[in-house]
Copies of this chain bind each other. A is one copy, B any other.
């Protein structure tokens, strides 16, 4: 509440009073979202742990970096870590690219045996208790859930008791067959279109692509049902998929996500909802959760 109040004061104050309060600064327009990101202090950023960063290299020389979400899907994330450490992902392919929906990768033969330590039938980690997440309400209404907001840098929706990751652009989920199968984490997809929020609570969501979305979203769409690539069409293959923690320290990609409990983030959300730069004529006065994905930046070397 304090953050939002401070912010609305800044915006709502009469120009004369605002001038007095801002005497030390040059008179200026409200900061744009990018300016807020650029000026956010180091304390407003949280590093993605090396053990939570899956780095996928493709045979077309493109790289995809995915932050994993152990707070939301611990069993599936543990599976993914085991699959990565066993080298299991190497050689599997991108098999499905459905326009305005998902890009999905896995073992096209469906015969590659899983490492022995992978949990073959994980629980359905579709949601978890809201309590303990440090949830920050977005402050604008959600089209799907009672409330949407953020927790630990993740986009989250909640019914007040349970919480779940929202299926936004770049979020990563676990491919599965029909219920009650939940998938293992060996087959994953990333959202490449408008948020398919109807998948929320129907699928285990395990992470977010922090870099390399182009490598997934700019692929030719598959021509078979559900966007599956036709037999015989070349499919991008995974050369390696490693946790950053298992890469040589000097070569590890490192990312920081803006802390969703920082005042800078609160200001950023408010600025996204109320654009006031030279281009925008009529601020929306609203923002949906998938247009409020916490800013990401490469960590300083």
Q: Report A's interface with B, CB cutoff 8 A.
A: 97, 99-100, 124, 126, 140-144, 168-170, 178-180, 193-198, 200-202, 213-214, 217-221, 272-273, 275, 278-284, 286-288, 290-291
Residues of B within 8 A of A286 (CB): 143-144, 197
Q: List 12 A-B contacts (CB under 8 A).
A: A99-B217, A126-B281, A143-B286, A143-B287, A144-B288, A169-B193, A198-B287, A198-B291, A201-B281, A201-B282, A218-B219, A218-B220
A101 to chain B: closest CB distance in Å? Answer: 10
- Of B144, B179, B278, the residue contacting A284 (CB under 8 A) is B144
Report which of B124, B202, B287, B291 forms a contact with A280, defined as CB distance below 8 A: B202
11 more A-B residue pairs beyond the given contacts A100-B217, A141-B141, A201-B281, with a C-beta to C-beta distance below 8 A: A143-B286, A168-B194, A178-B278, A193-B193, A195-B291, A196-B291, A197-B291, A198-B273, A198-B275, A198-B280, A198-B283
Q: Could you say which of B97, B178, B194, B273 contacts A194, with CB atoms under 8 Å apart?
A: B194
List chain B residues, Cβ under 8 A from A142.
143
Out of B194, B272, B288, name the residue touching A193 (CB < 8 Å): B194
| Chain B residues whose C-beta falls within 8 Å of the C-beta of A202 in the assembled complex | 279-282
CB pair B284–A100 under 8 Å, yes or no, is: no
Which residues of B lie under 8 Å from residue A100 when comparing CB positions?
Answer: 169-170, 213, 217
CA distance A275 to B97 in the complex (A): 22
- Complex CA gap A91/B291 in Å reads 34
Does the CB pair A290–B194 fall under 8 Å? yes
Distance between Cα atoms of A124 and B221 in the complex (Å): 36
Which of A124, A180, A193, A291 has the most C-beta atoms of chain B within 10 angstroms of its own C-beta? A193
B143 contacts A99, CB within 8 Å? Answer: no
Residues in chain B near residue A169, CB distance under 8 A: 100, 193-194
